[in-house]
């Protein structure tokens, strides 16, 4: 796997991969058999790092000029805007975002409907008071 150094994921990703190997070996696997379980564990860490970097790259407007943006990407961007705006004033949302950025939590945790509802509510309150 290759990571973009600008996202500072190298050490975190390496630590997660080492933890995957440790978990796999702790179960005393038969090392003469294929290690599908290890690769399944490792896939979670790899997918998380890829989601973070690819998502940030896709959000760059200079890449998307003239490009068709799918509804799914539009929804993801809208949700991320809500979360980023709310994270400025809401500690719960800020902590959830930091956990993902520091690779302590999987990016999918930011798609939790309760978290997104909270972000929308925080932002609505803020817009009413401004």
Regarding whether 72 and 103 lie in a shared domain, the answer is yes
pTM: 0.73
> Of the candidates 26, 46, 66, which is a domain's last residue?
66
Please list the pLDDT of the chain residue by residue as tens digits (130 residues).
567 667 778 888 889 999 999 999 999 999 999 999 999 999 998 888 887 777 666 666 555 566 677 787 778 888 989 999 999 999 999 999 999 988 899 999 999 999 999 999 999 999 988 7
Regarding whether 77 and 54 lie in a shared domain, the answer is no
How many angstroms separate the CA atoms of 62 and 56, rounded? 12
Quote the crossing angle between the two packed helices 91-101 and 71-87, to the nearest 10°.
Answer: 120
> Of the candidates 25, 40, 66, which is a domain's last residue?
66
DSSP 33: S
pLDDT score at 66: 65
How far from chain centre, in Å, is Cα 61? Answer: 20
The three-state secondary structure class of 83 is: helix
Regarding whether 95 and 85 lie in a shared domain, the answer is yes
pLDDT score at 93: 97
How many domains does the chain divide into? Answer: 2
């Amino acid at each position: 796997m290759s990571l973009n150094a600008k996202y500072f994921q190298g050490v975190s990703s390496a630590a997660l991969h080492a933890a995957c190997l440790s978990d796999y070996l702790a179960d005393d696997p038969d090392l003469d058999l294929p290690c599908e379980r290890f690769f399944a564990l490792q896939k979670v860490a790899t997918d998380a790092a890829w989601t973070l970097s690819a998502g940030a790259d896709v959000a760059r407007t200079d890449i998307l000029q003239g490009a068709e943006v799918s509804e799914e990407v539009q929804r993801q961007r809208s949700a991320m805007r809500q979360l980023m705006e709310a994270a400025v004033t809401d500690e719960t949302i800020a902590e959830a975002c930091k956990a993902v950025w520091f690779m302590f939590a999987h990016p999918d945790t930011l798609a939790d409907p309760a978290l997104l509802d909270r972000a929308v509510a925080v932002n609505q309150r803020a817009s009413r008071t401004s």
